[in-house]
Amino acid sequence: MLLNFETPEIISLTEVDSTNNYIANLVREGKLCKTTIVSADYQHEGRGQRATKWQSSKAQNALFSIYTPWKHLKLEDQFVVSMLVALSIVDTLQRHVTSEVKIKWPNDIYVDSKKIAGILIESDLNGQQVSSSIIGIGLNINQTYFDAAIRATSLKLETGQNHDRAGLIQQITKNLMLRCEQLLDEPDFFNVVKQQYLNKLFGHKQYISVIVKLGNAPLTIKPLDVTRAGLLLAVDASNQLHSFDVKEIEWVI
């Protein structure tokens, strides 16, 4: 897999609208061409997946985006980036917590059935190639109060201790670079990464409840696999195979 990771420059901000937006502006102005990390203590317009907001207390958590140009990354392979980022966060967090860190498809990070980190990847395309990505990561670290409705946790809630925010950003980035480097000469990189991803997938080969948005009907499914395009493949209670797009299902955890 041909990825382009160099030792990244780190820009640390006190406050910004969104670290993803900050990088997108630099790219638009032609000021960014190599791997760069932007982190912030606070975002007043933090963005989540599917046009949601990412809210985070001031100077408690990790809010950062990694900009990376890619070499020869095909559009059809972009779900690999999502899997690699999720796995790098799992690698990092698992060294600190005893409960199992899981990936809720497609790329939410969960501990004890509660969300601890979210990922928002925004990519630029050049024909059928992904030319660069902005990989936004929000990781709950030292925050201990969360709205009950969002079922979230943090490293502090899981371990009882405060953790070094900058250190964790470095560890996640390092783990991501390591994982990318390991794939450089791997022709079957999709299946290699997919196997590691499935090993960490929340509910893999277990029956779990989801709400299918198309009909709004609750359904019990057993997630089995993911496709190259990132669709979730799962069987229902009568063993019928379904494939889901991210907008089609809502998790009931």
Q: Determine the Cα–Cα distance for residues 110 and 155; give it in Å rounded to an integer.
A: 11
The residue range among 1-9, 13-21, 76-84, 223-231 that interacts with ligand BTN, by the rule CB under 6 A, is 13-21
Minimum CB distance to ligand BTN, residue 199 (Å)? 21
Minimum CB distance to ligand BTN, residue 76 (Å)? 23
Cβ within 8 Å of residue 189, ≥6 positions away: 1, 77, 80, 183
Q: Does 92 sit near ligand BTN (CB under 6 A)?
A: no
Q: Does 138 sit near ligand BTN (CB under 6 A)?
A: yes
Q: Does 118 sit near ligand BTN (CB under 6 A)?
A: yes
Do the beta carbons of residue 135 and residue 74 sit within 8 Å?
no
Return contacts of 247-252, CB within 8 angstroms, 24+ apart: 247/50, 247/213, 248/212, 248/213, 248/214, 249/210, 249/211, 249/212, 249/213, 250/210, 250/211, 250/213, 251/104, 251/208, 251/210, 251/211, 252/208, 252/209, 252/210, 252/211, 252/218
Q: Does 119 sit near ligand BTN (CB under 6 A)?
A: yes
Q: Does 20 sit near ligand BTN (CB under 6 A)?
A: yes
Shorter beta-carbon distance to ligand BTN: residue 77 or 108: 108
Shorter beta-carbon distance to ligand BTN: residue 130 or 137: 137
Peptide bond before 106: cis, by omega within 30 degrees of 0? yes
Minimum CB distance to ligand BTN, residue 216 (Å)? 22
Q: Does 86 sit near ligand BTN (CB under 6 A)?
A: no
Q: Does 89 sit near ligand BTN (CB under 6 A)?
A: no
Q: Does 88 sit near ligand BTN (CB under 6 A)?
A: no
Q: Does 101 sit near ligand BTN (CB under 6 A)?
A: no
One-letter amino acid of 134: I
Query: Of 236, 239, 233, 242, which is closest to residue 219 (Cα–Cα)?
Result: 236
Q: Does 106 sit near ligand BTN (CB under 6 A)?
A: no
Q: Does 49 sit near ligand BTN (CB under 6 A)?
A: yes
The single-letter DSSP state of residue 249 is E
Do the beta carbons of residue 56 and residue 140 sit within 8 Å?
yes
Residues numbered 51 to 80 that lie near ligand BTN (CB under 6 A) are: 52, 54, 63-65
- Return the ∠ at Cα 221 (arms to 217 and 223), rounded to 5°: 135
One-letter amino acid of 48: G
Shorter beta-carbon distance to ligand BTN: residue 1 or 36: 36
Minimum CB distance to ligand BTN, residue 168 (Å)? 13
Q: Which of 11, 32, 36, 46 binds ligand BTN (CB under 6 A)?
A: 46
Q: Which chain residues interact with ligand BTN by CB under 6 A?
A: 18-20, 43, 46-49, 52, 54, 63-65, 108, 118-120, 136-138
